[in-house]
């Protein structure tokens, strides 16, 4: 099965991100917008994983979570990968909780490497993917929309607590991916 590890977002944050997507859609760029219910903070994409490996991943996540304390995250600015002029992915960054999120991703990376998972080729970047650019259609207008977003408003109203990490299965369908929570690891409270 295809699997990944992530932090689930609150319904309030998902509604806020849907509003941001709505504003960006006015650019009429060729972007495949992520369904708000599917937006999450990915800590590690695992790819295809056997049932045997899934059980070991669950155990590793429980060990990691046992050593963590709850924290809050908040949203920050909008941006694009690899960069705004050549946008392939539109994202919203993490402000508060960014370091804690990076630390968790680092711990997951270390533990899963011991289980035979390949180490990520690039540095972890705490972000929420909200859209994937399919072509250059109206890209300048999209760039203007992203640059004009008011990040201070996002930060002020976007806080949520984090006290779990979740292992998800990703099933690809013609109408988009379906994410199913396989295991939740709760932090030490």
Kindly give the confidence (pLDDT) of every residue in the chain, 189 residues in length, as a single tens digit, with 9 standing for 90 and above. 999 999 999 999 999 899 889 889 989 999 999 999 999 999 999 999 998 899 999 999 999 999 999 999 999 888 999 988 899 999 999 999 999 999 999 999 999 999 999 988 889 999 999 999 999 999 999 988 887 765 556 656 788 999 999 999 999 999 889 999 999 999 987
155 is written with which tokens? 């930060």
Examine the residue annotation and report whether 183 is marked as an active-site residue of this protein. no
Structural domain that includes position 103? 2-186
CB hemisphere CA count around 78 (13 angstroms)? 24
SS3 of residue 158 by DSSP:
coil
Q: Is 44 exposed, middle or buried (0-12, 13-18, 19+ CB in 10 A)?
A: buried
| Residue in 127, 150, 157, 183 annotated catalytic | 127
| Residue in 40, 53, 157, 183 annotated catalytic | 40
Supply the pLDDT for residue 76.
86
25 is written with which tokens? 């859609």
Q: How many domains are contained in the chain?
A: 1
Examine the residue annotation and report whether 127 is marked as an active-site residue of this protein. yes
Please report, for the domain that includes residue 7, its CATH number. 3.90.1140.10
- Which residues, in sequence order, are CB contacts of 131 under 8 Å at separation 6+? 21, 24, 31, 32, 33, 34, 89, 90
């Amino acid at each position: 099965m295809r699997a990944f590890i992530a932090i689930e977002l609150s319904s309030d944050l998902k509604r806020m991100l849907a509003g941001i997507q709505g504003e960006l859609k006015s650019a009429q760029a060729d972007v495949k917008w992520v369904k708000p219910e599917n937006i999450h903070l990915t800590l590690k994409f695992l790819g295809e994983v056997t049932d045997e490996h899934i059980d070991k991943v669950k155990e590793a996540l429980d060990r990691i979570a046992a050593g963590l304390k709850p924290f809050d995250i908040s949203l920050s600015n909008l941006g694009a990968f690899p960069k705004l002029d050549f946008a392939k992915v539109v994202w919203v960054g993490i402000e508060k909780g960014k370091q804690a999120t990076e630390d968790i991703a680092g711990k997951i990376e270390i533990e899963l490497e011991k289980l035979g998972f390949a180490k990520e080729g690039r540095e972890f970047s705490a972000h929420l993917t909200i859209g994937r650019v399919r072509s250059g259609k109206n890209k300048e207008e999209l760039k203007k929309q992203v640059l004009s977003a008011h990040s201070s408003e996002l930060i002020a109203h976007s806080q949520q607590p984090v006290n779990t990490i979740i292992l998800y299965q990703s099933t690809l369908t013609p109408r988009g991916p379906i994410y199913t929570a396989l295991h939740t690891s709760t932090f030490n409270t």
